[in-house]
Every structure is written in structure tokens, then in C-alpha cells.
Amino acid sequence: MSTTNYQSKAIELDENDELAPFRDRFVNNNVIYLDGNSLGKLPKKSIETLQHLVTEQWGNRLIRAWNEHWLSLSKRTAAKIAQLVGAQADEIFVGDSTSVNLYKLAFAALHFQKHKSEIVSDSTNFPTDLYVLEGLIKNNFNAHKLHILDPKDGITILEDDLRKAINPNTALVCLSHVLYKSAFMFDMKKITDLAHQHGALTLWDLSHATGAVPIQLNASNADLAVGCTYKYLNGGPGAPAFLYVRKDLQAQLTNPIWAWFSHQKPFDFSPNYSESIDIQRFATSTPTILSIAPIEIGVDVFLEAGMTNIRAKSVQQSQFLLAMIQDLLVPKGFHIASPLDVAQRGSHISIQHPEGYRINKALITPSDGSTPIIPDFRPPQNIRLGIAPLYNSYMDLYQCVLRILKIMETKEYETHSKELVGVS
């Protein structure tokens, strides 16, 4: 199909898009933003809410605001996240970071399964997840072994390989539901069943899945999970993460950090530790109110739009984008580094090119006066095109491909340095 045909198609799809009105909920700043899988956009409502929170609640009400507003914020936000990930309200805790929550839950699982000594993960998992597991082995569980699976085609982790790796000595299977580089998506229920057949626990990292695909933690019988709120959920830079512990496991697992907010009665100020019996057991500290408040606003938009509708648009957008990539970019030397099967894919698409880093730079800082386009780059060659259906249009995707074609034609990328600097 010609570029003009794709353009008319994009216009038509945008006109029929029922989620299009949600674009206006976010601050628009004259860039085409395809990086919502790394840092989500700013919801307009967050500006107003934070302003009120700082000046009125903190400024005027001071410590009285804890009882008036803040003590209920974490639980209310957790209950809303629970709806998005198919869990019960009392199975989710909001706070700390993804890495810290992963550490707490992996430690708890390994401690609980002391008689078993193997952990299964994969080499394309997010680096922090692998570091946390390696650190636990080095510092706490010396006799344990980390079994790291490799993807077959650079993208797919075969179910058969997992079947071979998981055995009666497996304590924990720790995987990202959607992989950050390729967007490959595991079948959560199938793999959880497989782990359970051997008495292993599952710990899912939902960072690239939450807000991107419908998640069914309860229906999958998942044991443990962690996830990020500053990506698709638009919670703001460094916003706290969440964790999930299945109800029946909560009283059996121990938080390695005994802190006052995991105590049954923190405000008794008792010198003796007494572990909370519910999800609060996995908390640590005073809730970070200023950074939890925008999470609630981000999640509210998802609940209003409906995760099923969001996924339907994400699928249609990624199919549209893939068709253009196959038709127009593959002949220019690009390689598709995400699964072609939509059932195995989250909401971003990776394309590879030996000049990927400089092409990504040319997209972000155009020399022809065109609108900047912001995807991101992941070494060695991946340009990740993140699709956030709440604010991305079909036209955004069309313009991105058109611009890449122009960059290739003019070799504009050659004006950029090959040296990797900062966050890209």
C-alpha cells in the first residue's frame, strides 16, 4: 500500500475511534509521544490535584491532613489498581519501588520454599529483576541456582523450555508478563499452572503489562506480582510501585524488612515487632502522599475508558503500525523484533536497525523543523515504539513511519553522534 493510502486509513481510523476524546485528558505539547511505556504523559487533572494537595492540604492543614485525607489514599489507590489487574482490593499494596517490592517478595518466596533451591527467569527480563535475584543468591541464599532461559529467535521464550526448566526443586518462577524489549507476552495462566504442578511459586513483574493489556491475577491463580505505575498508568516520574500477594499466601510469607508500617498497629509505637496479618505486612514506610496522589488519577482514567476497550485499540493500532513497518520499513533494512502474533504481544513494537540509536536521535531532534517524535532506544539496536491508546492517534503512528522513511532517505541520522548519552 502507498503512503497516501496509509494516511487516508489513519484519518478514517481516528474518526471512528471511540477513545479519541481521552487524548484531551493529557497535557499536549506538540510532540508525537511514543514512549508511554517508559514514562507516561501528565494528566491535566494531576496538575490541579497536586496544586491543591501542596498548598491547601500540606500548606494549611499540615498534620491534620493525615486523618482528613492522606491515611485513606494508599488503600483507595490499591483498590483501583486491583480492578485493573484482576485482583481483590486487599491483595494489592501501593508503595516502594518495583525493585524493592521484587526483592521483598522474592525473598519471602525463597524463604517460604526453603527446601527447594532453583529459580527460573529469562535473559531478556528487565535487568533490575535479574540483579535482584542474583543479589539474593549471593547474599542470602548461597546454595540456590538461577536458571536463565534464552529466547529462541531473540524474542520468544518457548513454553517447552520452561517445561524443561521447571522441576520439583524449583522454588520460584520469576518472569515479566510483558518483556520490556520485545513486548513478548507470556501466558500467565499456563505458566502459573506449570509452576504449580511442581510446587513452585510464580512472581510476575507487570511493569510493561499494567495498563497495556488486561491482566487476570486471580483467574490465573498467580501467587505474587509487582508492577510499575509511572509507565502506562501515567503516575509521574518515579511514582511508587505496587505489589500483589494472593490472599491465602499473605499470612504465610514474611516481609524481610520489618518496619513500622508492616506492624499490626504502627500507631501504638510498641518497641516489639508484631507482623500485620494482611497485605499491610508487605508495607514499609509512611506513604509517599505527593507521589501516590497522581497514581490514583492515572488509574481512574483507565477504569473510565475500560481496559477491554484500551486493549482493543492497542491491538488495532499495533496491527496498523506493523503493516506499515512490514510494507515500508523492512525494505529499508529494518527488522521487526516483536512477536507478530498479537496474542503474544503487549502494547509496544520494537524495530531494529544497525543505525537505530542515531535514527532515534534524529526522530527526537528533527533538523527539518518537523514535529519531534519521541520513541526510545534500547541497546544494541532497538527502537521501541510504545502505543498508549489513551493518547496516541493512528496519525501519530503514520507520521512516525513517514518520518523514519525521510530520515533514511536523507541520511539525516549521520549528523548525530554515535556516543550513547543519558537516558534515551
Ligand X SMILES: *Cc1c(COP(=O)(O)O)cnc(C)c1O
Residues near ligand X, by CB under 6 A: 97-99, 126, 128-129, 176, 180, 205, 207-208, 228, 241
CB neighbours of 256 closer than 8 A, spacing ≥ 6? Answer: 103, 104, 107, 108, 111
Q: Which residues are catalytic?
A: 126, 205, 230-231, 384
- Which residues of 307-347 form beta strands (DSSP E)? 335-336
Of 128 and 221, nearer to ligand X (C-beta) is 128
Smallest separation, CB 114 to ligand X (Å): 26
| Residue carrying the nine cell digits 536497525 | 353
CB closer to ligand X out of 63 and 423? 423
CB of 423 to ligand X, least distance (A): 12
Q: How far is the CB of 294 from ligand X (least distance, A)?
A: 15
CA distance 92 to 243: 6
- Cβ-based nearer residue to ligand X, 19 or 236: 236
Angle between helices 289-305 and 307-324 (to 10 degrees): 80
What's the Rg (C-alpha) of the chain?
A: 22
**For residues 346 and 389, which CB has a smaller minimum distance to ligand X in the complex?**
346
How buried is 16 (Cβ within 10 angstroms: 0-12 exposed, 13-18 middle, 19+ buried)?
A: exposed
Q: For ligand X, which is the closer residue by CB, 130 or 405? A: 130
| Angstrom distance (rounded) from CA 291 to CA 285 | 14
> Is the CB of 116 or the CB of 177 nearer to ligand X?
177
CB of 222 to ligand X, least distance (A): 15
Residue 137, C-alpha cell as written in the block: 543468591
DSSP annotation string for 178-242: B-TTT-BB--HHHHHHHHHHTT-EEEEE-TTTTTTS---TTTTT--EEEE-SSSTT---TT---E
One-letter identity of residue 57: Q
Half-sphere exposure of 99 (CA within 13 A, CB side): 11
> Minimum distance from CB of 103 to ligand X (Å)?
9
CB 5 → ligand X: shortest distance, Å? 35
